C-alpha cells in the first residue's frame, strides 16, 4: 500500500488574514466613515488625516489610536473582515464529494457576503481598485479550490488529478470570478442574476470533471 504524500495547500497563508480585531461600535463607526469618505471624495485611505477621519466618525483621536495605527490600517481591517467572511462562505466548497450541493451552498453564502458588503466591494473593486484586496481575494479563491480539488480526500474521488499548471489554472479561475463580480457591480443592468448562478455552478462542475 502506498502512502500518499500529503501536500500542503500553498495558499494557506491567506488564512492569517482572516482574524480581524473584534468588531466594536467605535471600530464600526470608524470603518464606515472611511468607506463613506473614500466613496464621496474618490481618494485613497492614505489621503485622509486621522484627525479628519476621527471627526467624521464622531470618535476621539485617542479612540482612533487605541484601535488603528493609521487610516490605511483601517482599510486593511475592512479587507480582512470581508476575507474572513469569504473564507467562511468558501468552506462548503471543500466537500467535493457532495458535488453540486457543496458548490451551491458556497455560491449562496458568497452572494450573502456580497450583499452585506456591497459598498465595500464597490469601493475596492470599482471606485478605487485595490490591488492588495484583489490579490488577497484571489489567494482565498485559490485556497478553496485547492482544498476542493487537490487534497487527499478529493484525489480519491477523481480519475485524473492534474499535477501541472495548478497555480496557473487557479489564477485564471480567480481572475474570471473577480472580474465577473466587478462587471456586475459596474453594469448591473447587463446581468441576469438567476442565470449567473446556473453559469457559475456549471463552471465549477466543469472544473471538477476535467481537472
Pick from 2, 5, 159, 210 the residue near a second copy by CB under 8 A.
210
Q: Which stretch binds a second copy (CB under 8 A): 20-28, 65-73, 108-116, 188-196?
A: 188-196
User: Does residue 189 belong to the site contacting a second copy (CB under 8 A)?
Assistant: no
Cell of 68: 488603528
Angle between helices 25-41 and 71-90 (to 10 degrees): 100
- Record the cell numbers describing residue 75, joined without a space: 482599510
Closest CA to 113 of 82, 76, 78: 82
Out of 99, 164, 201, 204, which residue is the one contacting a second copy (CB under 8 A)? 164
Evaluated on CA atoms 12, 136, 147, 151, the torsion sign reads negative
- In the set 87, 95, 169, 201, which binds a second copy (CB under 8 A)? 169
Instruction: Please state, in angstroms and rounded to a whole number, the distance separating the CA atoms of residues 102 and 210.
Output: 18
Q: Give the binding range for a second copy (CB under 8 A) out of 75-83, 94-102, 112-120, 180-188.
A: 180-188
Backbone angles phi, psi at 164, to 5 degrees: -115, 160
**Binder among 72, 88, 184, 201 for a second copy (CB under 8 A):** 184
What residues line the site for a second copy (CB under 8 A)? Answer: 164-165, 167-169, 171-180, 183-184, 187, 190-192, 195-196, 199, 202, 206, 210
Amino acid at each position: 500500500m502506498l502512502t500518499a504524500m500529503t501536500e500542503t495547500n500553498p495558499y494557506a497563508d491567506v488564512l492569517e488574514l482572516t482574524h480581524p480585531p473584534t468588531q466594536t461600535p467605535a471600530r464600526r463607526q470608524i470603518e464606515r466613515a472611511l468607506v463613506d469618505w473614500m466613496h464621496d471624495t474618490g481618494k485613497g485611505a492614505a489621503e485622509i488625516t486621522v484627525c479628519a477621519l476621527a471627526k467624521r466618525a464622531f470618535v476621539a483621536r485617542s479612540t482612533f489610536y487605541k484601535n488603528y495605527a493609521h487610516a490605511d490600517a483601517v482599510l486593511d481591517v475592512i479587507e480582512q473582515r470581508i476575507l474572513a467572511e469569504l473564507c467562511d462562505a468558501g468552506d462548503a466548497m471543500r466537500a467535493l464529494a457532495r458535488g453540486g450541493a457543496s458548490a451551491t451552498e458556497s455560491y449562496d453564502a458568497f452572494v450573502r457576503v456580497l450583499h452585506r458588503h456591497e459598498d465595500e466591494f464597490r469601493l475596492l473593486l470599482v471606485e478605487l481598485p485595490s490591488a492588495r484586496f484583489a490579490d488577497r481575494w484571489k489567494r482565498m479563491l485559490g485556497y478553496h479550490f485547492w482544498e476542493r480539488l487537490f487534497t487527499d480526500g478529493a484525489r480519491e474521488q477523481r480519475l485524473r488529478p492534474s499535477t501541472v499548471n495548478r497555480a496557473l489554472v487557479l489564477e485564471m479561475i480567480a481572475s474570471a470570478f473577480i472580474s465577473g463580480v466587478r462587471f456586475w457591480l459596474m453594469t448591473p443592468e447587463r446581468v441576469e442574476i438567476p442565470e449567473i448562478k446556473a453559469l457559475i455552478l456549471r463552471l465549477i462542475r466543469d472544473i471538477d470533471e476535467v481537472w
